Structure 1
Amino acid sequence: MELTDFDFLSDSTEQTSTRFVTFISPGLNRFDLAIVTTNRFYGKKLVIDMQSGRSGALAYDDLEEEGVIASVFRLEEEAATELSQFLALVLGEVHFTD
């Protein structure tokens, strides 16, 4: 198979910023994350759980939606709450300008 056999819908390269962070929460849940800041995803950051390989494009307002973090990362309620609390500090609120 050759590269010309594929029908590309998109193919681009960009400079990104990645923060790798490992921490133990107050409830003794361990998180190993990669948080990627990019020009894609309309201001959201790509959050990757390095343990499970699960990822989501998230912004601060996603943290306010009940069950989003638990669903994206397949976490129990306590761990999802603690991860949400951490991500609230990292993602910050998005402020759009006119």
Structure 2
Amino acid sequence: MSERFFLYDETEETKTRYVSFMGEHQRFDLVVITTDRYYGKKLVLDIQSSRFAILGQDDLEEPGYLEETFKMNDEEGGELREFLYEIL
């Protein structure tokens, strides 16, 4: 067996927020992780869909980005975007 080649192997303290809320069209169960790794962006995990993205304000302004990433319709994506504008 050959040696494992690591590109990196680091441990970092993070801030993790768990938030659940009801929108008009669906329930959101999210994990928002703040870390120094992603240039000020946050790692957002949708527990229900098992999808995640590294997001910043600029990503929220990209038309259709949240909807495509989290496989949501326009209304659901709008609700998620509205919440994320408050915390990112």
| Structure-2-length-normalised TM-score | 0.94
Aligned partners of 2:69, 2:6: CA distance in 1, in Å?
Answer: 27
Are residue 79 (structure 1) and residue 71 (structure 2) matched? no
Deviation at 1:5, TM superposition (A): 3.7
For the aligned residues, what is the CA RMSD? Answer: 1.3
Which residue in 1 is equivalent to 2:35?
Answer: 38
Which residue in 2 is equivalent to 1:24?
Answer: 22
Counterpart amino acid of residue 27 in structure 2: R
Structure 1 or 2: more strand by fraction: 2
Render the CA deviation track for 1:10-52: whole Å, top value 9, x for unaligned: 1100000000000001x13100000000001110000000111
Which ranges of structure 2 fall in alignment gaps of 5 or more residues? none
Equivalent runs, 1:56-67 vs 2, <5 Å: 56-67=53-64
Structure 1 or 2: more helix by fraction: 1
| Structure-1-length-normalised TM-score | 0.84
Are residue 11 (structure 1) and residue 17 (structure 2) matched? no
